[in-house]
């Protein structure tokens, strides 16, 4: 099946050969291209025979000599070139099942596709994959891949994922590790089910595969108010969160002695719930688990600390920072530091409670536009309102404000109109916060 080319990169091999958007890729070295994984694998050779169908219908047979791993420089109309594989699990803790009705259709799509793990870092349960799919990962050396483990207890995993085929995870990880595939693993921790002794088992089982299993992130379950008819969970509290932190710390100390890394790390939410400080920066080994919420607080602090010296001293400005309950104290501390370095900069945070999904959801990334509007209407706002980029749909940086969308489909343009303020979008790690303040402050 031919694949339509959407974009040709400037200065690329494809541009030199007069390949154009609207042309079609037919084959590489006489192999048809099923999806982006096929393409990435086939294009690595130093010699290629590429068949292209021009938009006019003319067929070009191109012979290409290039550097190993050098790409042709094309992008396709469909990113993975065919329909994504949907998830067959009915996980007890699935966040998508807890969404209210009437939201945009894309929010209800459950993916479990190895290609999206390769392209976007999505997590896989491996339950949606055949043995041939596993062999394909090994053949193409797709690495690293991200795996949603949740537990290595076969019977418990069948229950958690509500899928009778979910119990063969350990065998599949064994096969991938034996082939040299690197894996990042994740556990969504559910009190009373896969925590405590079960988490110990999971940690011990996965550590056996180190360094092929490079790390394990543990995040607490998120529970919305839309769980009618679903499994009822308890939530972590100060006492139970501390218990998990203390138990995991024993393993972390052991692993640090053995391999120089803690291997398993808890997301920042556990420390916030437990009212304990997060570990030092060295603990996070380059902060490569930020997408799981692991180390975000520490990297945010470091970014603010390292960039404060760049804050202009002869400026005046007035800013409001919008955040969720989990991050509020951290944002408050950062604002106080800015005020201390330049007391002509007024910057204050506003904590937004998640009335849309339920106040048990405390992370900034799940705050909706309507909650911001409702909870700021009676508050005094700064000249500029700052929000973290995680509140907006992926790809926000490529779109104008009419296409920058919150989870409830409120656009950034609509929010600006309702708040009567200019909205500034900041990296959620705080990397560009000081730059934004400098840019939108006025010199005295």
Do residues 315 and 344 lie in contact, with contact meaning Cβ atoms separated by under 8 Å?
yes
Q: Which of 259, 294, 329 is the last residue of a domain?
A: 294
- Residues 420 and 355 grouped into a single domain: yes
Do residues 92 and 159 lie in contact, with contact meaning Cβ atoms separated by under 8 Å?
yes
- Residues 315 and 392 grouped into a single domain: yes
Name the β-bridge partners of 419.
Answer: none
DSSP H helices in 84-129: 114-120
Strand segments, DSSP code E, in 174-314 are 183-189, 213-220, 264-266
DSSP H helices in 237-368: 238-259, 268-274, 296-307, 328-341
| Tokens of residue 93, six digits | 């803790």
The rounded distance, in Å, linking the Cα atoms of 399 and 171 is 43
Here the CATH number for the domain that contains residue 285 is 3.80.30
- Residues 71 and 142 grouped into a single domain: no
Angle at alpha carbon of residue 143, lines to 139 and 147, rounded to 5°: 110
Name the β-bridge partners of 51.
Answer: 27, 61
- pLDDT at position 114 is 45
Count structural domains, the chain: 3
- Residues 290 and 321 grouped into a single domain: no
This prediction has a pTM of 0.82
- pLDDT at position 39 is 82
Do residues 222 and 191 lie in contact, with contact meaning Cβ atoms separated by under 8 Å?
no
| Tokens of residue 429, six digits | 């790690």
The rounded distance, in Å, linking the Cα atoms of 360 and 235 is 8
Q: Which of 246, 269, 294 is the last residue of a domain?
A: 294
In a domain, 84, yes or no: no
- pLDDT at position 284 is 96
- Residues 285 and 368 grouped into a single domain: no
| Tokens of residue 256, six digits | 């640090």
Range of the domain at 270: 96-294
Here the CATH number for the domain that contains residue 64 is 2.30.42.10
- pLDDT at position 41 is 78
> Which residue is it, tokens 């009676």?
378
String of b and e for 388-409 (b: at least 16 CB within 10 Å)? bbbbbbeebeeeeeeebbbbbe
Q: In this predicted model, what pLDDT tens digit does every residue of 238-272 receive, in sequence order?
A: 999 999 999 999 999 999 999 999 999 999 999 99
The rounded distance, in Å, linking the Cα atoms of 403 and 311 is 31
Do residues 121 and 291 lie in contact, with contact meaning Cβ atoms separated by under 8 Å?
yes
pLDDT tens digit at each of 444 positions of the chain? 788 898 899 899 999 999 999 999 999 999 888 777 778 778 888 999 999 999 899 999 999 999 887 889 988 877 544 455 566 778 888 887 888 877 766 664 555 444 444 444 467 888 878 888 888 888 878 888 889 999 999 999 999 999 998 999 999 999 999 999 999 999 999 999 999 999 999 999 999 999 999 999 999 999 999 988 888 999 999 999 999 999 999 999 999 999 999 999 999 999 999 999 999 999 999 998 998 999 999 999 999 999 999 999 999 999 999 999 999 999 999 999 999 999 999 999 999 999 999 999 999 999 999 999 999 999 999 999 999 999 997 644 545 666 789 999 999 999 999 999 999 999 999 999 999 999 999 987
Backbone angles phi, psi at 408, to 5 degrees: -90, 15
- pLDDT at position 400 is 63
Here the CATH number for the domain that contains residue 355 is 3.40.50
Q: In this predicted model, what pLDDT tens digit does every residue of 355-382 receive, in sequence order?
A: 999 999 999 999 999 999 999 999 999 9
């Amino acid at each position: 099946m031919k694949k339509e080319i959407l974009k040709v990169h400037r200065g690329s091999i494809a541009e030199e050969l007069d390949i154009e958007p609207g042309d079609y890729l037919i084959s590489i070295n006489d192999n048809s291209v099923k999806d982006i994984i096929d393409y990435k694998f086939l294009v690595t050779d130093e010699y290629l025979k590429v068949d292209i169908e021009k938009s006019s219908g003319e067929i070009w047979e191109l012979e290409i000599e290039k550097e190993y791993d050098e790409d042709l420089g094309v992008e396709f109309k469909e990113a993975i070139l065919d329909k994504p594989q949907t998830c067959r699990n009915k996980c007890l803790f699935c966040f998508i099942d807890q969404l209210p009705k009437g939201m945009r259709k894309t929010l209800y799509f459950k993916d479990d596709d190895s290609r999206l793990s390769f392209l976007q870092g999505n997590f896989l349960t491996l339950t949606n994959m055949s043995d041939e799919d596993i062999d394909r990962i090994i053949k193409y050396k797709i690495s690293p891949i991200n795996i949603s483990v949740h537990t290595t207890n076969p019977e418990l995993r069948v229950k958690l994922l509500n899928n009778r085929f979910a119990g063969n995870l350990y065998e599949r990880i064994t096969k991938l590790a034996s082939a040299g595939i690197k894996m990042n693993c994740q556990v969504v921790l559910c009190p009373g089910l896969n925590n405590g002794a079960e988490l110990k088992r999971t940690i011990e089982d996965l550590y056996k595969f180190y360094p092929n299993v490079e790390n394990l992130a543990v995040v607490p379950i998120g529970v919305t108010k839309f769980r009618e008819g679903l499994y009822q969970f308890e939530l972590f509290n100060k006492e139970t969160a501390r218990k998990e932190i203390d138990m995991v710390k024993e393993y972390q100390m052991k692993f640090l002695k053995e391999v120089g890394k803690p291997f398993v790390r808890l997301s920042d939410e556990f420390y916030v719930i437990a009212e304990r400080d997060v570990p030092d920066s060295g603990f996070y080994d380059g902060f490569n688990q930020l997408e799981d919420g692991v180390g975000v607080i520490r990297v945010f602090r470091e970014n603010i600390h390292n960039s404060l010296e760049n804050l202009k001293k002869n400026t005046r400005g007035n800013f409001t920072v919008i955040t969720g309950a989990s991050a509020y104290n951290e944002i408050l501390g950062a604002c106080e530091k800015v005020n201390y370095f330049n007391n002509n900069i007024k910057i204050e945070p506003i904590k937004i409670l998640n009335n849309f999904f339920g106040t048990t959801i405390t992370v900034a990334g799940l705050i909706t536009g309507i909650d911001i509007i409702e909870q700021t209407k009676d508050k005094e706002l700064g000249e500029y309102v700052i929000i973290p980029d995680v509140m907006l749909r992926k790809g926000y940086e490529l779109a104008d404000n009419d296409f920058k969308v919150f989870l409830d489909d409120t656009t950034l343009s609509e929010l600006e109109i309702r708040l009567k303020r200019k909205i500034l979008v900041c990296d959620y790690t705080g990397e560009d916060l000081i730059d934004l303040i400098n840019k939108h402050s006025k010199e005295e």
